[in-house]
């Protein structure tokens, strides 16, 4: 696609908006970069990118971009408040979010090339290094960026997020079940992350019922004791598993799925590291009204995000320390859960708001963002 490109930068509320428009107008890229403290310039920008389809007004795109950049900022504020890294991440990174608005007729390679061009303009305009990747469910496009941006293939990959997920589920289930109970776990999605989570639960002695749209992903578990493949997603959701872990691409937890989970016997915990899992407020209300504990995606992915950020800064890994810190925080939230008669997600939100306040940061309750780096 041969076209003329127009680049613009405009100030926003505590941010800057950047756009790169391809003429004729079948393709355009927009991003929001949150402003930094000029007294303490941060030379890194943590970003995430997604391709969306028109029609999208520029005003709507900018509203979504700013909201989701703020959501990503909250994530790194929480990483600092939980003390999961060896340095203050908020002193190193600003945050940003980008959308590429592309007509269906535009090849994916062209859309991602425009995104890479936009980020190169941003780096020059903001005098900062951009660390960005496509969202997890679009990683197949990442080769289009190779050599264009700081788009690393992180060494830690999915291992820290898998461990954080399994550790948290085991602690929550341990708080509501007898100590020697080995509950069945349902896992939706057996990719690199879901497969690691499945393997960890099987090693711990739990039975696992799993579903994936790609039947080849069952092969590593064929013949394993206590593993069974569900013939359909509905079968997995309706299983008698005490806990469900979502590890698919995005948007798995809808109101109808929540009703199915609440309606099955013995459902205690639902959540997982899947991107945007807490986006549907009605689904979360159904789980809460049904007395089901929700385990947020940010919590499950926190160790992965912390490891990625340390790698991006060239810092030595502090995974075991971070794992110990996270376990302490989860235990404190669980300790406050029963006396208050709360579900885990209610206690976790209350707890994290308190430590964010103690650290001098402000927190935003803004479900509806769908940001991922390689956080899972």
pLDDT tens profile 115-166: 889 999 999 999 999 887 655 545 555 555 554 444 445 555 688 999 999 9
Peptide bond into 55 cis (omega under 30): yes
DSSP alpha helix (H) spans, the chain = 58-81, 108-126, 159-176, 192-203, 233-238, 255-263, 281-289, 297-312, 319-340, 344-358
> What confidence score (pLDDT) does residue 301 get?
92
State yes or no: pLDDT of 198 exceeds 80: yes
Contact in structure between 216 and 242 (CB atoms under 8 Å): no
Q: Which residues contact 58 (CB under 8 A, 6 or more apart)?
A: 19, 30
> What confidence score (pLDDT) does residue 318 get?
86
CATH superfamily assigned to domain 155-376 = NAD(P)-binding Rossmann-like Domain (3.40.50.720)
pLDDT bucket at 329, cuts 50 / 70 / 90: very high
> What confidence score (pLDDT) does residue 53 get?
82
* Nearest-10 crossing angle of helices 159-176, 319-340: 30
Can you say how many angstroms the Cα of residue 325 is from the centroid of all Cα atoms in its chain? 20
Give the residue extent of every domain in the chain. 4-145, 155-376
The closest alpha carbon to 16, from 55, 45, 40, 52, belongs to 45
State yes or no: pLDDT of 222 exceeds 60: yes
Per-residue CA distances from 195 to 191, 229, 311 (Å): 5, 12, 23
pLDDT in tens, 73-132: 999 999 999 999 989 999 999 999 999 988 888 887 888 888 889 999 999 999 999 887
pTM of the model: 0.86
Query: In this structure, which topology does domain 4-145 adopt according to CATH?
Result: Rossmann fold (3.40.50)
pLDDT bucket at 370, cuts 50 / 70 / 90: very low
State yes or no: pLDDT of 216 exceeds 80: yes
The closest alpha carbon to 176, from 42, 73, 267, 303, belongs to 267
> What confidence score (pLDDT) does residue 366 get?
37
Q: What is the largest CA-CA distance in the chain?
A: 66
> In whole angstroms, what is the distance from residue 175 CA to residue 243 CA?
13
Which residues on neighbouring strands pair with residue 32, listed in sequence order?
Answer: 17, 97
DSSP string, 182-221: ---EEEE--SHHHHHHHHHHHHTT--EEEE-SSGGGGGGG
| Percent helix / strand / coil, the chain, rounded to 5 | 45, 20, 35
pLDDT in tens, 272-323: 999 889 889 999 999 999 999 999 999 999 999 998 888 888 888 789 999 9
> What confidence score (pLDDT) does residue 134 get?
55
Quick one: tokens of 243? 């806990």
Quick one: tokens of 76? 């790194």
Q: What is the mean pLDDT of residues 211-223?
A: 95
pLDDT in tens, 9-49: 999 989 999 999 987 667 899 999 998 666 667 889 999 88
Which residues on neighbouring strands pair with residue 34, listed in sequence order?
Answer: 15
Q: What is the mean pLDDT of residues 332-348?
A: 94
Contact in structure between 342 and 172 (CB atoms under 8 Å): no
> In whole angstroms, what is the distance from residue 33 CA to residue 47 CA?
8
Q: What is the mean pLDDT of residues 177-197?
A: 93
The conformation of residue 367, written as its DSSP 8-state character, comes to: B
Q: How many CA atoms lie within 13 A of 84 on its CB side?
A: 30
> What confidence score (pLDDT) does residue 152 get?
46
In what order do the strands lie in the sheet containing 269-271? 227-229, 208-211, 185-188, 243-246, 269-271, 293-295
> What confidence score (pLDDT) does residue 371 get?
33
> In whole angstroms, what is the distance from residue 241 CA to residue 237 CA?
8
- Cβ neighbour number for residue 363 with a 10 Å cutoff: 17
Q: What is the mean pLDDT of residues 265-269?
A: 92
The torsion defined by the Cα of 129, 41, 13 and 278, in degrees rounded to 10, comes to 60
> In whole angstroms, what is the distance from residue 2 CA to residue 208 CA?
51
> What confidence score (pLDDT) does residue 113 get?
86
> What confidence score (pLDDT) does residue 226 get?
96
> What confidence score (pLDDT) does residue 108 get?
79
Quick one: tokens of 277? 């899992």
State the chain's mean pLDDT as an integer: 86
């Amino acid at each position: 696609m041969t076209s003329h490109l127009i680049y613009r930068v405009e100030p926003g509320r505590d941010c800057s908006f950047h756009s790169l428009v391809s003429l004729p107008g079948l393709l355009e890229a927009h991003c929001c970069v949150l402003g930094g403290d000029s007294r303490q310039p941060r030379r890194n920008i943590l970003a995430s990118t997604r391709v969306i389809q028109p029609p999208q007004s520029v005003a709507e795109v900018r509203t979504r971009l700013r909201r989701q950049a703020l959501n990503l900022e909250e994530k790194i504020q929480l990483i600092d408040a939980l003390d999961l890294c060896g340095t203050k991440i908020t002193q190193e990174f600003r945050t940003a979010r980008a959308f590429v608005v592309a007509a269906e007729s535009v090849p994916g390679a062209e859309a991602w090339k425009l995104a890479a061009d936009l980020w190169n303009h941003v780096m020059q305009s903001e005098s900062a290094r951009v660390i960005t990747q496509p969202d997890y469910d679009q990683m197949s496009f990442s080769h289009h960026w190779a050599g264009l941006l700081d788009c690393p293939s992180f060494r830690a990959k999915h291992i820290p997020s898998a461990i954080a997920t399994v550790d948290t589920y085991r602690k929550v289930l341990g708080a509501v079940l007898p100590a020697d109970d080995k509950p069945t776990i349902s896992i939706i999605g057996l990719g690199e992350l879901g497969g690691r989570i499945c393997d960890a639960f099987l090693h711990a002695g739990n039975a696992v019922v799993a579903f994936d749209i790609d039947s080849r992903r069952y092969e590593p578990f064929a013949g394993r004791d206590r593993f069974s493949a569900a013939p359909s997603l509905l079968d997995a959701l309706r299983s008698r598993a005490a806990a469900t872990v979502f590890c698919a691409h995005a948007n798995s937890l809808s109101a109808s799925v929540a009703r199915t989970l609440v309606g099955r016997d013995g459902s205690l915990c639902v959540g997982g590291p899947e991107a945007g899992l807490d986006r549907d407020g009605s689904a979360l209300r159904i789980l809460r009204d049904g007395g089901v504990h929700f385990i947020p995606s940010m919590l499950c992915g926190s160790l992965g995000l912390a490891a990625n950020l340390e790698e991006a800064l060239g810092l030595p890994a502090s995974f075991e320390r971070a794992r110990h810190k996270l376990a302490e925080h989860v235990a404190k939230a669980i300790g406050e859960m029963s006396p208050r008669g709360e579900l885990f997600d209610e206690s976790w939100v209350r707890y994290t708001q308190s430590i964010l306040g103690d650290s001098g940061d402000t927190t935003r309750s803004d479900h509806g963002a769908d940001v991922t780096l390689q956080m899972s």
